[in-house]
Structure 1
Amino acid sequence: MKKFFKNIGPGPLVAAAFIGPGTVTVSTLAGVNFGFTLLWAMVLSIFATVILQEMAARLGIVSQKGLSEIIREEIKHPIVKGIAVLLIISAIVIGNAAYEAGNISGGALGMEAIVGNVIWEIGQLKLNIMSLIIGVIAFVLLYIGNYKVLEKAFVFLVILMSFAFITTAILTKPNLLEILKAIVIPVAPEGSILTIIALIGTTVVPYNLFLHASLAKTKWKSKSDLPIAKKDTLVAVILGGTVSMCIIIAASAIQKQSITNTSDLALGLEPLFGSFAKYFLAIGLFAAGITSAITAPLAAAFVTSGCLGWEADLKSKKFKSVWMVIVVLGVVFSSIGFKSIEIIKFAQVSNGLLLPIIAGFLLWVMNKSSVLGSYVNSKFQNVLGVIILIITIFLGVKGILSVFNVI
């Protein structure tokens, strides 16, 4: 048991990063609106996450460098390098700003379920006080750097909520044959394309690819650790994905067509917790929101530092300036009157649209022998990677077209 815990790496942290307010919200919406139909999309997401995160972990261990750092070093042409760095920073900053808004909105949803919605009016401007409070908490914890103890408590609460959804999914007594059918037969009902992209975006989180490479090189220094890292990724991602699938299954039993607040989301937990479901989910959403509101800005700061060659030091002014921008943008987007559920969903769709860009860079790096030597991708790994890339590009294009009502 002691050896087991010693070998636990960044896999559970990656899984915890995608089981946040976005996952709870989007998976619930998928279950309520489409039943079991979109379970195949979550299975695809789990598969893609395992493949891409394994590559990221292998890259970090073998090269002992972060993904953004390697991209900056390996692109030799100054113009191409400038475009690539700008593209990555833009993608991560925009994506994480949207993600941060979703995290803060999720935490605020949890608080609103207990204390109600508090709006502060300044002239014509209306600000959500709960979003401001979540943003201030995240800002203070990041600034002083003493957030690890709190993070452990929050992760515990999120894990507790995960077990609740697994148990609830079992209590709803779903039709196992229908679940199996939904897993193996891809179906995209009318109006489901953005939900499919959101399910992928909430699981295969682009910034996690950068984060995993950086964390893996810190945890493991020897190439002999690669099998342990692979197992760590596989177990953690599959368990995390199973929780997401259980949320969809539990939500399928909700007899309500419109999900607009925490009380509606909590209906998925009522078979297990009855009238206390709302408060239990509120604590879970608050915990998930705060935890993610801390990690998303940090990841953006690490990525930007790697791309621009800055020192990745928590006390560095440049490093601080990046996460400060992300937190401020997150608070602004989540507090100016948009519906929290819609912000969270937009964040996941945004992630889904950004994924092809980041996955493309990762695949390119994973085939460079100058970086990985004999540990470059095998032909089979490249085939899987290209299939994932094609699917994400296809969904991304369809998503953009559907947003503009072209399809």
Structure 2
Amino acid sequence: MRRLAQILFWSVISAAFIGPGTVTTAAKAGSAFGTALLWALLFSVGATYLLQETAARVVIGSGQQPGQLIGGGHRKRLAYGLFYAVAFGCAAYQAGNVMGAVAGLQLSAPVPGYVLSLGISALSATLLWGGSFKVITRGLSTLVAVMGFLFCWAAWQVRPSPGLLGSGLSPSLPSGSLLLTISLIGTTVVPYNLFLGAGLSRGRELKATRWGLGGAIALGGLISAAILITGTQVSEGFSFEGLAAALQRELGPWGKPALAVGLGAAGISSAITAPLAAAVAGQSLIGQEHGHWGTQGRYFRLTWGAVLGIGLLFSLSGIQPVPAIIMAQAINGLLLPLAAGFLIYVANDSAALGRNANGPLANFLSLLVFGVCVFLGLNNLAAALSKAIGLSGGALRSPAWLGLLSAAACLLMARWAFAKRAQP
């Protein structure tokens, strides 16, 4: 029961990364390439656990928040910069979360979009205003359970053969699949989750936290895989309506309502966690300098309120949800290397962490994940520049060129982290 309670508590991490972006990307991957990209989901789940465990170990091992480990003086600017970057990324995600939830609920409920947007934002604000992590995590675990049951049930009805599933676990890149592969990883390894996990780790035991994180992230990976398998039934261009039609063919009249509830639950759960993550990041990174950063404090509420308000404004603007979701993923793809690099830096503070500091294996795996994060960020940046200046993007997004830059970034990160480890 204690282990189950830990998994339910840490399901907040699953709720954060399984939003409309994951539903859109995983279903598109299944529609375009079948089960061939399941291996990318498996990698992203492993990378998520590695980074989340590191974030928890940093806080539990040192008894300090990440912002305190940076130090004072000019280094404090790094903490402020990270906070503003994470808050900006959360606001971008929030817009996609609300619009995705609205798009899902409208599949079966003919309710005006502005009414649903206001209702989702009001529900999120009500849970966040109380400031009780226990109440929030219980609500989120319920939404994850509903969402997981519906998507796993839909995937079970598809019944892919074991051989087809097994072939999807072997790394391969079918022609034209690179962008979706990058998106699958980027939508699972979410940068703001690292600070959310760090903030929620205070006062917890490391062994129990590892168990809870492992179970919750594995559950999230299972749900994401179920969404990908469900998406294999969409034979033409992806859209929420096309996915609903495919589910109706497979599941009968329950297909469309099931997708509506599943997508709605994904959007609502992420619409709660994105503002919460921004506020917890502020609490972790800069909240030690002054008061009012408690869960019912002024700055904590102002932060999640600003993110919630931005998401509501965008959802009322009439922007189409799928492009907004993809843009949010691109923005956060740029933030991910910053968050991962910061985490590696503080995890090598042997003076503060002692035996809980990163060892050789942890550093190797962390730098590997960091390199992938840099590759994702550079690819997203190249895509944005290509669109801005009207180029095809072939040269800017060359895998060899991006891989070389990513390797160089890993070497610089290793030098920076090991220098931190050598400090007395």
- TM bucket, shorter chain: 0.7 to 0.9
Give TM-score, length-normalised by structure 1: 0.86
> Could you tell me which amino acid in structure 2 is paired with residue 320 of structure 1?
R
* Deviation readout 1:11-51 (Å, 9 max, x if unpaired): 32212322222222221122112322322221110110111
* Deviation readout 1:214-245 (Å, 9 max, x if unpaired): 21223x2xxxx433322222222122112211
Matches within 5 A, 1:69-218: 69-70=67-68, 73-76=69-72, 78-82=73-77, 84-116=78-110, 118=112, 128-145=114-131, 152=138, 155-187=141-173, 189-190=175-176, 192-218=177-203
- Contact 1:164–1:269 (CA<8 Å) still a contact in 2? no
* Deviation readout 1:268-296 (Å, 9 max, x if unpaired): 54366422222222223323322322221
3-state SS of paired residue (1:114): coil
Of 375-384 and 17-26, the range deviating more from structure 2 = 17-26
Give the Cα separation in 1 of the matches to 2:255 and 2:219.
23
Matching residue of 2:422 = none
Matching residue of 2:234 = 254
Of 88-97 and 193-202, the range deviating more from structure 2 = 193-202
Give the Cα separation in 2 of the matches to 1:177 and 1:348.
32
Structure 1 counterpart of 2:309, from 328, 341, 353: 328
> Could you tell me which amino acid in structure 2 is paired with residue 187 of structure 1?
L
Does 2:381 align with 1:385? no
- Contact 1:200–1:352 (CA<8 Å) still a contact in 2? no
Give the Cα separation in 1 of the matches to 2:242 and 2:150.
16
Give the Cα separation in 2 of the matches to 1:233 and 1:63.
19
Of 108-117 and 90-99, the range deviating more from structure 2 = 108-117
Matches within 5 A, 1:235-250: 235-250=215-230
CA gap of 1:6–1:175, structure 2 versus 1, over 3 A, is: closer
> Could you tell me which amino acid in structure 1 is paired with residue 70 of structure 2?
E
3-state SS of paired residue (2:271): helix
Give the Cα separation in 1 of the matches to 2:6 and 2:51.
20
Matching residue of 2:45 = 46
Any gaps of 5 or more consecutive residues in structure 2?
387-392, 395-424
Moved over 6 A (4+): none
- Contact 1:104–1:134 (CA<8 Å) still a contact in 2? yes
Aligned residues between the structures = 385
CA gap of 1:188–1:356, structure 2 versus 1, over 3 A, is: farther
Report how far residue 356 of structure 1 moved: 0.9
- Contact 1:110–1:285 (CA<8 Å) still a contact in 2? yes
Give the Cα separation in 2 of the matches to 1:155 and 1:278.
23
> Could you tell me which amino acid in structure 1 is paired with residue 74 of structure 2?
I
- Contact 1:9–1:229 (CA<8 Å) still a contact in 2? no
CA gap of 1:324–1:28, structure 2 versus 1, over 3 A, is: same
Matching residue of 1:346 = 327
Report how far residue 146 of structure 1 moved: 7.5
Report how far residue 142 of structure 1 moved: 2.8
- Contact 1:66–1:214 (CA<8 Å) still a contact in 2? yes
Report how far residue 98 of structure 1 moved: 1.0
Matches within 5 A, 1:47-62: 47-62=46-61
- Contact 1:168–1:250 (CA<8 Å) still a contact in 2? yes
Give the Cα separation in 2 of the matches to 1:288 and 1:247.
11
> Could you tell me which amino acid in structure 2 is paired with residue 75 of structure 1?
G
What percentage of residue pairs aligned between the two structures are identical? 35
> Could you tell me which amino acid in structure 2 is paired with residue 16 of structure 1?
A
